[in-house]
């Protein structure tokens, strides 16, 4: 017999058999609960039981039992559905937060006021992140989020920094990176990555990136990762105000090599070779027809992302098919 275990505040859920401990069932489901021993001595795996019944070495206990808490996950077996409160638990694929002092290897000026930043983690201290996630640079007591523009690597990280005269923060960051040997950072952060369980899709199903400006950084990292898996249906729509916004020719090289479908777009510049009166949603619908199997990653400001989402929904697309960092900090307007 199996029971459903819910871990709050994250809302993680998994099934547990009556002949296995909560800890063993969590590990089988890819959920990481901190542990050291497996016999209840260290108490590192302790949780607070909010509801349910468990069998412990001292006998059966329910949530109202005076001695049930703290509940030791490694020696407690479910006898009903359980609701547990537990901190520092990682869901399937989640990576623990790391604090890293990166060596600043290079800061290179590209087109359109964009700089390519290359960082190197200390030897012997490998970093870990998923393609599509971001880090926070810690500069002068401030935190600056940047999407990682490179596929996962043990040491190397690439960032794309857009600098403009009306953005003081970007100038502060650039000056720091150009004049210091190291920079502290916190990573990984963000929920935009392709999860093997929740985001299962065929490598021949469309994987679409719709990005604005330096949103190309997120697409670059994820495309590099997917090309390793020989994904055969990658589509990139890169949108800028004018031609100077296309600061990298990598997307065109991928397209020339037949690795992806690429469409550069400048909807605000009629004089550009990339101008089109069609929206990106219309172009995508013309290209794919049926959008039901497409997974879309959208990177840009909230207005941009929700405009694209609305346009796709009018063509039969479901919001659950889109991934975007915007969803975490800017709820959709009513």
Q: State whether 158 and 235 are in the same domain.
A: no
Q: State whether 61 and 102 are in the same domain.
A: no
Instruction: Report whether 108 contacts 33 (CB < 8 A).
Output: no
Residue 267: closest CA among 242, 295, 246: 242
Residue 198 located in a structural domain: no
Report the distance separating Cα 246 and Cα 114, nearest Å: 10
Instruction: Out of 20, 53, 85, pick the residue that ends a domain.
Output: 85
CA 250 distance to own-chain centroid? 22
Report the distance separating Cα 3 and Cα 104, nearest Å: 50
Q: Which residue range(s) make up the domain with 133? A: 98-189
pLDDT tens digit sequence for 264-320: 999 999 999 999 999 999 999 999 999 999 999 999 999 999 999 999 999 999 999
DSSP code string of 152-214: --SSEEEEEEE--TT-HHHHHHHHHHHH-SEEEEEEEE-S-S--TTTT---TTS-EEEEEEGG
pLDDT tens digit sequence for 205-221: 899 999 999 999 999 99
Specify the CATH number for the domain of residue 27. Answer: 3.10.20.30
Q: State whether 219 and 314 are in the same domain.
A: yes
Q: Bigger pLDDT: 120 or 198? A: 120
Q: State whether 291 and 218 are in the same domain.
A: yes
Residue 246 located in a structural domain: yes
Q: State whether 219 and 292 are in the same domain.
A: yes
pLDDT tens digit sequence for 2-53: 999 999 999 999 999 999 999 999 999 999 999 989 899 999 999 999 999 9
Reported as half-sphere exposure (CB side, CA atoms, 13 A), residue 175 has a value of 9
Report the distance separating Cα 21 and Cα 298, nearest Å: 41
Sign, CA dihedral 101-222-251-312, equals negative
Instruction: Please tell me the total count of domains within the chain.
Output: 3
By the 10 Å C-beta count (0-12 exposed, 13-18 middle, 19+ buried), 140 is classed as: exposed
pLDDT tens digit sequence for 127-168: 999 999 999 999 999 999 999 999 999 999 999 999 999 999
């Amino acid at each position: 017999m199996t029971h459903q275990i819910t871990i709050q505040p994250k809302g993680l859920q998994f099934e547990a058999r009556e002949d296995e401990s909560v800890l063993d069932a969590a590990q089988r489901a890819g959920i990481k609960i901190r542990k050291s021993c497996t016999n209840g001595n260290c108490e590192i795996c302790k949780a607070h039981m909010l509801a349910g019944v468990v069998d412990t070495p001292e006998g059966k206990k329910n949530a109202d039992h005076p001695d049930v808490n703290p509940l030791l996950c490694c020696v407690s077996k479910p006898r009903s559905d359980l609701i547990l409160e537990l901190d520092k638990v990682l869901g399937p694929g989640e990576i623990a937060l790391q604090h890293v002092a990166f060596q600043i290897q290079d800061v290179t000026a590209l087109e359109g006021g964009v700089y390519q930043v290359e960082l190197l983690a200390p030897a012997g201290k490998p970093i870990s992140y998923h393609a599509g996630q971001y880090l926070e640079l810690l500069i002068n007591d401030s935190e600056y989020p940047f999407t990682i523009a490179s596929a996962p690597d043990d040491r190397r990280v690439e960032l794309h920094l857009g600098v403009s005269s009306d953005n003081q923060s970007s100038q502060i960051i650039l000056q720091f990176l150009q004049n210091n040997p190291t920079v502290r950072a916190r990573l990984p952060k963000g929920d935009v990555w392709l999860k093997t369980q929740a985001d299962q899709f065929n490598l021949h199903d469309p994987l679409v990136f719709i990005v604005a400006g330096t949103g190309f950084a997120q697409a670059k990292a994820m495309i590099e990762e997917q090309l390793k898996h020989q994904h055969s249906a990658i589509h990139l729509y890169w949108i800028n105000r004018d031609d100077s916004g296309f600061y990298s020719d990598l997307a065109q090289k991928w397209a020339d090599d037949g690795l992806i479908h690429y469409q550069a777009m400048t909807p605000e510049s009629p004089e550009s070779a990339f101008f089109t009166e069609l929206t990106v949603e219309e172009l995508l619908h013309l290209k794919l027809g049926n959008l039901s199997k497409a997974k879309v990653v959208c990177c840009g400001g909230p207005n941009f992302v929700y405009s694209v989402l609305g346009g796709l929904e009018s063509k039969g697309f479901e919001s659950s098919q889109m991934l975007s960092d915007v969803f975490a900090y800017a709820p959709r307007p009513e």
